[in-house]
Amino acid sequence: MNGPSASLSTLLVIACLILVAGCTSEDKFEGDYPKIATVNTTSKVSPTPTPGAGANGTTDELIPPIEGCGKGNTTRPEGCMVVPGNGTTEAPAPDMMENDTVRPEELAPDQEELAALGPYPDFITSNEDYFITRIGSVPEIDPSTYRLSITGLVKNPREFTLEELRALDLVELPLTVECIGKSPKGPAISTAVWMGFSLYDLLDSLGLDKSATGVKYRAADGYYASHPMEQVRDNGIIGALYMNGEVTPPLHGFPLRMLNPGYYGVKQPMWVTEIEVIDGPIKDYWGDGGWDVSPPMAIDSTIFFPDDGVEVKVGDVLEMGGAAFGGTRVARVQVTADRGRIWHDAEMVGRMDVDNVWAFWKAGIIFPAPGDYTVHVRATDINGNTQIEDDPVKYDGNSDWPMLEVQATE
């Protein structure tokens, strides 16, 4: 770092006086340190973990996860919205939306308030902006002739028309999904509110065999993926028919996309035409290609703004913002300008009070002297898992600290 030397105690006092929430010392250093400036916000934020004694050198009490919508499938927890199916190929009818429970999109932060804080993307990603990955072209599927075939270890295997699937009880699921191959600041991550049927409930209604250990999905484009039965039973997997209040677009899996909350996009197959209940090994398209697709999304973070190489004058506040996700729920986000010797808490400016949905953060940094700086970000989840600096295994999801290169000038 550039600038005059100062004692560690003096630097810590100065830093802590102007932090957004606090600081943590992890090593000794010399020189003036970039200070974290308080960024005034008016955004409404859902409850955050209570300060206390936490893990990994943090100062947050890490609260246990709240059961999500459809967990267990046999009893739906309070706050889970279930709407009756409408048996049509149209978007959900207005009377389907009538429910005393607050709708998921109503829990999202106000987008205008977020926009006033910086160039954040939409908290609920529009269908047009939702990220896309696929192994080939988008299949052309006729809704009038589409059939979902359920085979294997069920007493009553059968086919379902699209109308029959939409006549089932439907559950709404807000969910952030990340591509397993996304780089630390890559764009392949999005959040949508999906609506679909409980897979476990459907299989159970067909007489699920006790020997079943998993399910395998086959898609119209040749893709295939699998889930172990304990995830089907306990993780609230749904067969999504609607996306953000509209029929799921062909680009995103029409007519049927399977969603497994908390897992990477490779485990969310689109254009599903067959579900086989199996008692054999779990097989996946990308797993057979050398990827380890079994782990859930690890706690991770990204930087939305500013761009790399940004210039800022010494003494001015550089405002930066991004998102954290994975690990069920985010407890805190921190920034550092000396590779983790001193960490400063960012301010949480947008989140939903539900599992497996990203949280938006913001921090303001003042640099003490001219020079080149590298700012890193890390997140911690409610279970005490903290994002690591260098993820040693990239083929099961990359969760390296994202970084921002900054040039401070006179």
CA distance 299 to 327: 5
Strand partners, 25: 342
- Name the residue among 55, 52, 51, 57 with its Cα closest to residue 27: 57
Res 390: pLDDT: 85
Asked: is 85-278 a CATH 3.90.420.10 domain? The reply is yes
Res 11: pLDDT: 29
The token duo for 149 is 């075939």
Res 101: pLDDT: 52
Please identify which residue in the block is written with the tokens 């539900």: 354
Which residues does 230 contact at the CB level (< 8 Å), separation at least 6? none
CB 333 within 8 A of CB 346: yes
Domain edges within the chain: 8-63+304-323+351-409, 85-278
The model's pLDDT over 102-155, given as tens digits with 9 standing for 90+, comes to 566 778 999 999 999 999 999 999 999 999 999 999 999 999 999 999 999 999
Count of CB atoms within 10 A of residue 213's CB?
16
Please identify which residue in the block is written with the tokens 């938006």: 360
Phi-psi region at 384: left, alpha or beta (left = phi > 0; alpha = psi -120 to 50): left
Domain boundaries 8-63+304-323+351-409, CATH class: mainly beta
Q: What residues in the chain have per-residue pLDDT under 50?
A: 1-31, 33, 38-84, 86-87, 89, 94, 97-100
CA distance 167 to 203: 15
Please identify which residue in the block is written with the tokens 């047009």: 128
Measured torsion, CA atoms of residues 72, 188, 124, 350, in degrees rounded to the nearest 10: 90
Please identify which residue in the block is written with the tokens 């270890």: 153
Res 400: pLDDT: 87
CB 398 within 8 A of CB 301: no
What pTM does this model have? 0.79
Query: What sign does the CA torsion over 259, 262, 263, 265 have?
Result: positive
CA distance 76 to 238: 13
CA distance 359 to 364: 17
Same fold, 8-63+304-323+351-409 and 85-278: no
φ, ψ for residue 91 (rounded to 5)?
A: -65, 160
- Name the residue among 330, 389, 379, 390 with its Cα closest to residue 359: 330
CB 200 within 8 A of CB 239: no
| Residue 147, SS3 per DSSP | strand
| Residue 271, SS3 per DSSP | coil
CA distance 117 to 363: 11
Give the angle subtended at the CA of 27 by the CAs of 21 and 30, to the nearest 5°: 95
